[in-house]
């Protein structure tokens, strides 16, 4: 498990979700992330309310940070 278990298509699927919380939970479940500490620092609704490509970049930034704590 871990961030490495998240594939590009998982990120794209999450980016297509309307809810940032739902998207983060989806990826956390795949990676086995049990706390939202890093997500809470990296993710925000304002940046979520962009296009899908912007959402993908936001999620990728978060996951890079998340990987530092594994």
Contacts of 43 (CB under 8 A, 6+ apart): 20, 24, 58, 59, 62
Element (H, E) at 18: none
Q: Where are the domains of the chain?
A: 3-68
State how far the Cα of 12 lies from the Cα of 35, in Å rounded to an integer: 22
Q: What pLDDT was estimated at residue 11?
A: 98
Predicted TM-score (pTM) of the model is 0.95
The pLDDT averaged over each successive group of 10 residues in the chain (70 residues) is 96 97 98 96 94 96 96
């Amino acid at each position: 498990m871990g961030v490495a278990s998240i594939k590009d298509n998982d990120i794209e699927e999450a980016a297509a979700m309307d809810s940032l919380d739902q998207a983060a939970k989806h990826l956390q479940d795949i990676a086995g992330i049990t706390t939202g500490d890093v997500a809470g620092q990296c993710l925000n609704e304002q940046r979520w309310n962009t296009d899908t490509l912007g959402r993908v970049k936001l999620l990728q930034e978060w996951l890079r940070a998340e990987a530092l704590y594994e």
